Structure 1
Amino acid sequence: MTRPLRIGYLPLTDAALLHVASVNGFDREEGLTFTLHRETSWANLRDKLAYGFYDAAHMLAPAVLASALGLEGFRAPMIGAAALGLDGNAVSVSPALAEAIAGDPPSSARKLAALWTAGAKPLRFAHVFPWSMHHYQLLLWLRLGGVARDAVSLTVTPPSLAPASIEAGVIDGFCAGAPWNTFSQQRGASRILFPCAALMRNCPEKVLAFPRGAAEADPDVPKAAARALRRAALWGEQNRADLPRIVAQALTPDLPESAVRPALDADWLRLDAAATGLSALQADFLLALLAFAGQATFDAASQTVAREAFWSSEQAPPAPHLLGQTYAGGPLETFPPSA
């Protein structure tokens, strides 16, 4: 007999390992049965996990730290049992804006700053949640060009709604995870300016999160789920051609496989077994980004809480890289980093 595990997820390519584990029976071989429930926003997922509607959730890694730190008065601490991959985001802008600022992260940021200096109207960019890599990646990109904070208004939009929002002119650009950048570009609503892997690599993006109390009361369940995900990742390494089909069929109706494939083929998103591990260094990196955004303080007490929120794996994941430099720990005191 297996134990049912209700898991909420958002329709993103980095939910792939949950579906692969379920389709191939890796969950059941570890004594669990994943029942997967699609949600529309990160706030819904967080709240339903906190109030017991779900046993676990596909969750933004920074949101797990934010819950542990009690940010915004929301004290429902989560733990990350395993990573669901590394990287996967991209910055997309309207076709007109892409013509004006096309380039890699540093050059496009400088062009954006020049537009503002020349008197362009303030722009509106969307990310997916206040505690998300998408938010921090936008902030880091803007900092690269010295873009004034009043030059860009940042707002929250669920990833699956970003294509319609930019097509309607509600926003000028967005940072979201695969497949929505590609989907938006294929329908002509936007153009991908750059994958966020050009800004930072080996970025802890999403995790399988559990309520901390439940995880500590029965740690065998999160550990079994982590093993199932690692087995799914190992299967994916040997069956890369099948991944886009499984993801497209699972995520949302009418999503073409062609929208899923590019991020996997270009290695914008890592779903290999090494990308399922969690580490104290990743927790430090995320805490440093929260501090960079003014949401937290990088101190010893916060560092301890952050590290406890990530259950480190036996096999350490690769260290994060920021603009080609390996993150070795500590706050981001200066950004961009010196060469």
Structure 2
Amino acid sequence: MASDPIPLRRRKGFTLRLGFVPLLDSAPLIIAHELGLFFREGLDVELVREGSWASLRDKVSFGLLDGAHMLAPMPLAMSLATDRPRTPITTGMVLSRNGNGITVSTSLYPKLMAAGADPNDPLASARALVDVARRRGSPIQLASVAPWSSHDLQLRDWVATAGPDARHHIQIVPVSPIQMLDAFRAGHIEGCCVGEPWNSLLEWQDLGVILHAGHQIWQNSPEKVLGMRQDWAEQHPEIHRRLIRVLLSACQWLDDPDHHAALRDILSDERYLGNQVQALDGHPFSLFHPRLHQHFFRDSANFPWLSQAHWLATRLARWGQLGEASAADIRGIVKPAIFREAASSAGIDAPTMDAKTEGHHRLSHMVEGREGPVNIAGDGLIGEQVHHWPG
């Protein structure tokens, strides 16, 4: 039985402390700070850099942070935990979509290709991965950034397509993003699922090759979200809406390619990504690798779909990281209504429905919005799966 949540640690004034892990998709918070968008909205925000997702989770749980740039499954794992004290989290906004890569070592890649791997066919590559491990007689060790991450779920769902025997030939271990290059260099892992800029860095330093994009496992999946402590969100609803409004502006700015040179300069500051960005000097794609389809705003990217949160919950449950989550559980965490209010105040339309069938559309399409049709991205799932919202 999970313990009661730790009460919010109160501070004077309305300073928000928001955590982030130094990845490309932490850019909405960083840009909002650097461009003065928080200040313009009357918000006093302190950004706190964390070295791992576990550290960020724990600081939110203990009330040392009001909220954070979170892995999309984190609000579910924290709110519905059975293995640790629960910390109810409210999420009213997706910060980014896509951006993960499945990168394998330069020594493993040719063996996979010889065994039938195909960068355009993740099912064939999963079979090749298991075949290589079976032939050599020892498991292939892969890494994800945390057990309750989209990276971990994408990696497990991909490997599982090779059949039930795959679990005997593939091991998945947690490695913090900032330790991923060293783990490759030391030979401790032979592949990983990680966000940017780490896939690009692994390729640029001849340590790995991007085999697949997370986009091939789940098209346009929610990658990071704004997660706030539920008690904070309930105490400060107007500040919460203003925070979302600011971050929407930052996300819109980020999707403009004309801003990417300025973004690179900002992120290279040591307070943010620092030498991770500096190490990509001369890289042909700089920050945005075209295979990874990372975006922040277009196609209603920021809308928090209940159905997508529920799909994530089913993946967490499948891999033993969470119990079964009901539609009511999801509604208690994911708040499309809060998003609509904040977006409307910024002149941005949003879908009128809270959920949809996931995996049904491979292409972007239109749905009903408050002011007229709005465009949403495709949502294909690996193996042509379809997920129906139970609510």
- TM-score norm. by structure 2 comes to 0.78
Structure ID, larger Rg? 2
**Cα deviations across residues 263-316 of structure 1 (Å, max 9, x unaligned)?**
3545521112522221212221211211222333445xx321123211212224
Match of residue 309 from structure 1: 333
Is residue 2:309 matched to residue 1:296? Answer: no
Deviates more, 1:229-238 or 1:126-135: 229-238
In structure 2, list runs of 5 or more residues that go unmatched.
1-12, 341-349, 352-375
Match of 1:335 in 2: none
Q: Which residue of 2 aligns with 1:241?
A: 260
Alignment partner, residue 10 of structure 1: 21
For 1:137, the equivalent position in structure 2 comes to: 154
Q: CA deviation at 1:327?
A: 4.7
Q: Which has the higher helix share?
A: 1
Deviations 1:51-75 (Å, cap 9, x if unpaired)?
1211221111111101111232231
Is 2:273 aligned against 1:252? Answer: yes
Report deviation, 1:35. 1.7
Provide structure 1 residue ranges, at least 5 long, that are not aligned to the other structure: 332-339
Q: Is the 8 A contact 1:264 1:270 kept in 2?
A: no
Task: Quote the offset at 1:46 in angstroms.
Answer: 0.7
86, 91, 96: which is aligned to 1:85? 96
Write the letter of the residue equivalent to 2:196: A
CA distance in 1, matches of 2:78, 2:27: 24
In structure 1, the residue matched to 2:368 is none
Three-state SS of the structure 2 residue aligned to 1:192 is strand
Give, in whole Å, the separation in 2 of the partners of 1:163 and 1:29: 38
Identity of aligned residues (%): 30
Q: Does the aligned pair in 2 maintain the 1:68–1:306 contact within 8 Å? A: no
What SS does the corresponding residue of 2:179 show, helix, strand or coil?
A: helix
- Residue in 2 that maps onto 1:334: none
CA–CA distance in structure 2, aligned partners of residues 119 and 284 of structure 1:
38
Greater shift, 257-266 or 182-191, is seen at: 257-266
Find 1:270's aligned residue among 295, 302, 321.
295
**1:329: how far off?**
2.2
Q: Which amino acid in 1 is paired with 2:186?
A: A
Residue of structure 1 equivalent to 2:388: 329
Give the equivalent residue in structure 1 for 2:40: 29
CA spacing shift, 1:307–1:321, aligned 2, 3 Å: farther
Q: Does 1:166 pair with 2:171?
A: no
Aligned residue pair count: 328
1:287–1:303 CA contact under 8 A, matched in 2: no
Q: What corresponds to 2:211 in structure 1? A: 193
Q: CA deviation at 1:30?
A: 2.1
Q: TM-score, normalised by structure 1?
A: 0.89
Task: Say whether residues 1:112 and 2:132 are aligned partners.
Answer: no
Q: Which has the higher contact order (CA 8 A, sep 6+)?
A: 1
Change in CA separation of 1:78 and 1:266 when aligned onto 2, cut-off 3 Å: same
Name 2:170's counterpart in structure 1.
152
Q: Which moved more, 1:42-51 or 1:146-155?
A: 146-155
Provide the C-alpha distance between the structure 2 equivalents of 1:324 and 1:160, rounded to a whole number of angstroms: 32
Matched, 1:38 2:49: yes
8 Å Cα contact 1:281-1:319 kept in structure 2: no
Is residue 86 of structure 2 the alignment partner of residue 69 of structure 1? no
The match for 1:285 among 263, 287, 311 is: 311
